[in-house]
A = this chain, B = another copy of it.
């Protein structure tokens, strides 16, 4: 059976990536996580774009394991912050991975921003690297607006303050399958499906 490595150490994000791929019924492909392969050195995420970071992560993973590897880099692009936190979304408050501190900081920075300027987009770049084969990076975007307080407990990151276009609920109030159908990560991963399916041809 063909194995596909999904290269993320973020447990919630890995769960989401697996769930989206599973929903697409990738028959003949076994999705494995970084916990299923020997450890390897990973370069820090210092790229200026989501695409650079996703590609670097997928290349590292493919080179170290010899497996076709998918990686993503994603974040929140806030209009009133000129598209930031962007690639710094996971470390916006300074440290790395403190979702609550990052979200609180964005809310504080936008405290004087009027409703009509609270637009934002979740952005996901997803990269597929096949050892000695092709490299591909795609992008998914999900537009919405930012609330002034949190709502909902699904999801992670900035989900509790993001209301997608066409919705009244935050992305943390959507069911996982609803989120996957709409989200930046769902869109990006589905754009990789033709190439993923070609791995088992």
A-side residues, CB < 8 A to B, are 44-46, 48, 80-84, 86, 88, 91-95, 104-105, 108-109, 111-114, 117
Contacts and interface: CB of A to CB of B under 8 A. Distances in A.
A41 to B, nearest CB: 16
Contacts of A117: 48
Nearest to A79: B48
Nearest to A94: B108
Nearest to A77: B82
B109 A94 contact: yes
B105 A93 contact: yes
Nearest to A95: B108
Given A94-B108, A105-B94, A108-B94, A113 B46 contact: yes
Contacts of A91: 108-109, 112
B48 A80 contact: yes
A115 to B, nearest CB: 11
Nearest to A110: B88
A71 to B, nearest CB: 17
A199 to B, nearest CB: 33
